[in-house]
Amino acid sequence: MFNDIGPLELVTIIVLAVLVFGPDKLPKVIQDVMRTIRKIREFSESAKQDIRDELGPDFKDFEFEDLNPKSFIRKQLDNDELGLKEIRNGFDLKKEMAEVTDVVHGRESESSSSSASSSSTGGRVDMTKKPEEPGKDERPPFDADAT
């Protein structure tokens, strides 16, 4: 709950508490605060238990932490009933991007190229290379209607 409080903030809170309540009343205030926190925890636990009882036996393994969207998604990703791990592992973004760039530059994609070229590079495409420039004598096609 208070994991993000540093030592300087803790010392500041203690000094403020001593200044506000005084060193004589501070132990009594701490006891009252602790008693209130315990009562709030007991109340929340009893409310959770009442909700579980009302939901019935179908929801006996229901956890309120699952209502947090982050923990719900994490739990569903760990559960492999949907086959999400296969989809995630089967999708290679670098390969897909290499195929798209090959198509844009008019080259053959890796899947349709010869196996000799893929075996020499180990099935990888070097994305750092610039595309091959057409020869200086070659002019791009001219469309009189487009200009």
Residue pair 126/96 in contact (Cβ under 8 Å)? The answer is: no
Q: How confident is the model at residue 46, as a pLDDT?
A: 93
The answer, yes or no, to whether residue 77 has pLDDT greater than 60, is yes
Question: pLDDT per residue over 49-70, tens digit each?
Answer: 888 888 888 877 777 777 788 8
Does the global pTM surpass 0.85? no
Residue pair 60/52 in contact (Cβ under 8 Å)? The answer is: yes
Q: Let me know whether 5 and 50 are in one domain.
A: yes
Tokens, residue 87: 């989809």
Question: Nearest Cα to 98, choosing from 81, 117, 73?
Answer: 117
129 located within any domain: no
Of all residues in the chain, what percent are helix, strand and coil, respectively (each to 5)? 65, 0, 35
Listed as own residue / partner, the contacts of 117-122 with beta carbons closer than 8 Å and 24 or more positions apart are none
**Number of domains into which the chain is organized:** 2
Residue 123: strand, helix, or coil: coil
Round to whole Å and give the CA distance between 13 and 19.
Answer: 10
Average pLDDT, the chain: 77
Q: The domain containing residue 108 runs over which residues?
A: 92-121
33 located within any domain: yes
